[in-house]
Amino acid sequence: MGWTIQEALAWLDGHDNFETKGAFVKEPSLEPVATLIEALGISPSEFRTIHVTGTNGKGSVSRICTELLVRMGQKVGTFLSPHLDRVNERILLGGLPVSDDLLASELLLVAGMEEQLGLSLSWFEVLTAAALSLFYAEGVEAAVIEVGIGGTWDSTNVIDGDVAVVTSVGHDHLELLGPGLEGVAENKAGIIKPASVVVLGAIPEELVGYFRSRPSRGVLRLGHDVAASDQTLGVGGWRFDLRTPRTIYQELFVALHGRHQVDNAAVAIAAVEALAESSLDYDTVAGALAGVSVPGRAEVIYRNPLVVADGAHNAEAAEALARTMAEEFAGIEPVYGVAAMLAGKDARAVIKPMKPRLTGIFVTTVGEQRSMSAAALGAAALEEGCSVLEAATVEEAVSEAMEMAGEEGAVVVFGSFRTAARARRFLLS
């Protein structure tokens, strides 16, 4: 007898979850997932894979890669994190979230094998195994696999990526991946395998050696082997030309807010070219970039007033969001921020780049055990010279910020993907 999706998710939530606890409860190891998928008879080598890591940008790159591969006629599986509304958003088939029935059946399969083998998987390990099992069962031809945290010890590293993408190296999870950016780079470089083609995003020059030193089939770098030019702001996105080792694409348009999405698009195109071992059809590329959607990344979720939701939770992501607000929404006044963050994050580093664009900032909590208190977040905002208001919930903060902004103003929601998710549910429901 099968499980309902409610029964399946209840079982899943019985596993230790870093995303809710903020800490790992066991030493990192790839063995549990590797043991389980071997016992299931799953061979990830049956499908070609693009493995994507990075401090910021990996979600956007993964979604653009998926859109490209789907439009190329490939049967595509995608594994993403985090989700904004439903767990199903993490496992995609053909670019669409897996159905409740398929997800429940895969979780039931993993549950039986976990018990039979006497394993103790984490929440993320269960989903990794379920995704790989589903892709194998559905006969996908190409998979896009996004790393959860780091690279070397992330459960997704049971695969050997045909293409290994590193979008960026920044100041997040330093307590786990550091010390320093050198430690982050070394950990992320762990996804590079001897048979991988490596595609690097905007990586600081002093860190490139960590990726070049790994045995691989070659390294492509943004700004060197892959270069975007003539970047101009359009309506709802950016126009640009792109040079790759295989061809030149002229007058592309990526329908995403933020100049940094040009870099993400360039990296994704280079990754798919490397997987296909050829240049891509221009119309396919143009259609994919014009049609891609990346929820929770500088996403406009309301107008009059304008409400932009972004999961920015580290300094680099906040800097990108601040540039987007300055470049694409210049002249809109007043602008109120709504911020809620997880405990342990560097609140001042996130608020500092946003402060010049904000008339005031509402601070609140994400409504979970891991949440930073509104008082602590407010203190950090005051230290950065912000005008601070406090609200009990994200929904209340968004509502009050919208009222103060008026129809001509704007609200920008940031600090965590959980914050963006709550704002999205509130305004889109």
| Stretch 76-97: mean pLDDT | 96
Mean pLDDT of the chain, nearest integer: 94
Q: Looking at this protein, which amino acid is placed at residue 353?
A: P
E strand or H helix that includes residue 197: strand 197-200
- Give pLDDT, residue 173: 56
**pLDDT over threshold 80, residue 20:** no
The residue with tokens 């009059």 is 304
Encode pLDDT of 373-403 as tens digits. Answer: 999 999 999 999 999 999 999 999 999 999 9
Instruction: Check for a shared fold between 5-291 and 299-428.
Output: no
Min mean pLDDT across 20-24, 193-197, 400-404, 409-413 is at: 20-24
Reported confidence tier of residue 425, pLDDT bands at 50, 70, 90: very high
| Stretch 176-194: mean pLDDT | 86
Bridge partners (DSSP) of residue 307 are: 302, 411
Of residues 340 and 26, the one with the higher pLDDT is 340
- Give pLDDT, residue 298: 96
- Give pLDDT, residue 29: 87
- Give pLDDT, residue 368: 86
Pairing of strands 91-93, 76-79: antiparallel
- Give pLDDT, residue 150: 85
- Give pLDDT, residue 45: 82
Encode pLDDT of 219-271 as tens digits. Answer: 999 999 999 999 999 999 999 999 999 999 999 999 999 999 999 999 999 99
Min mean pLDDT across 3-12, 42-51, 120-129 is at: 42-51
- Give pLDDT, residue 183: 87
Q: 23 CB contacts (<8 Å, ≥6 apart)?
A: none
| Stretch 363-377: mean pLDDT | 94
Q: Is the Cα torsion angle 173, 150, 10, 424 positive or negative in sign? A: positive
- Give pLDDT, residue 178: 59
Q: Write phi, then psi, for 101 (nearest 5 degrees).
A: -65, -45
Q: Which architecture, in CATH terms, is 5-291?
A: 3-Layer(aba) Sandwich (3.40)
Measured distance CA(15)–CA(21) in Å, rounded:
11
The CATH number for 299-428, chosen from 3.40.50.720, 3.40.50.300, 3.10.20.30, 3.90.190.20, is: 3.90.190.20
Q: Alpha-carbon Rg of the chain, whole angstroms?
A: 21
- Give pLDDT, residue 172: 63
E strand or H helix that includes residue 228: strand 227-234
Min mean pLDDT across 17-31, 126-140, 228-242 is at: 17-31
Percentage of residues of the chain with pLDDT beyond 70: 96
The residue with tokens 């043991």 is 35
Determine contact, residues 90/127, Cβ cutoff 8 Å. yes
Pairing of strands 48-53, 299-302: unpaired
Contacts 24+ apart (CB under 8 A), 154-157: 154/53, 154/191, 155/30, 155/32, 155/33, 155/122, 155/124, 155/125, 155/128, 155/129, 156/51, 156/79, 156/128, 156/191, 157/30, 157/51, 157/190, 157/191
E strand or H helix that includes residue 242: strand 237-243
Pairing of strands 335-339, 306-309: unpaired
Min mean pLDDT across 179-183, 230-234, 348-352 is at: 179-183
E strand or H helix that includes residue 308: strand 306-309
Percent composition of the chain: helix, strand, coil (DSSP 3-state, to 5): 45, 20, 35
- Give pLDDT, residue 176: 63
pTM of the model: 0.95
- Give pLDDT, residue 370: 87
Measured distance CA(400)–CA(379) in Å, rounded:
20
Where in the chain are the domains?
5-291, 299-428
Measured distance CA(256)–CA(270) in Å, rounded:
18
Q: 20 CB contacts (<8 Å, ≥6 apart)?
A: 368, 369, 370
Determine contact, residues 286/265, Cβ cutoff 8 Å. no
160: number of Cβ within 10 Å: 16
What is the maximal distance between C-alpha atoms in the chain? Answer: 61
- Give pLDDT, residue 23: 57
Bridge partners (DSSP) of residue 339 are: 363, 414
Determine contact, residues 125/155, Cβ cutoff 8 Å. yes
Measured distance CA(276)–CA(69) in Å, rounded:
9
Min mean pLDDT across 9-23, 63-77, 123-137, 325-339 is at: 9-23
E strand or H helix that includes residue 302: strand 299-302
- Give pLDDT, residue 83: 94
- Give pLDDT, residue 28: 80
Encode pLDDT of 285-307 as tens digits. Answer: 999 999 999 999 999 999 999 99
- Give pLDDT, residue 407: 93
**pLDDT over threshold 80, residue 179:** no
- Give pLDDT, residue 352: 97
Reported confidence tier of residue 177, pLDDT bands at 50, 70, 90: low
Q: 54 CB contacts (<8 Å, ≥6 apart)?
A: 61, 147, 165, 166, 167, 168, 169, 188, 201
Of residues 278 and 22, the one with the higher pLDDT is 278
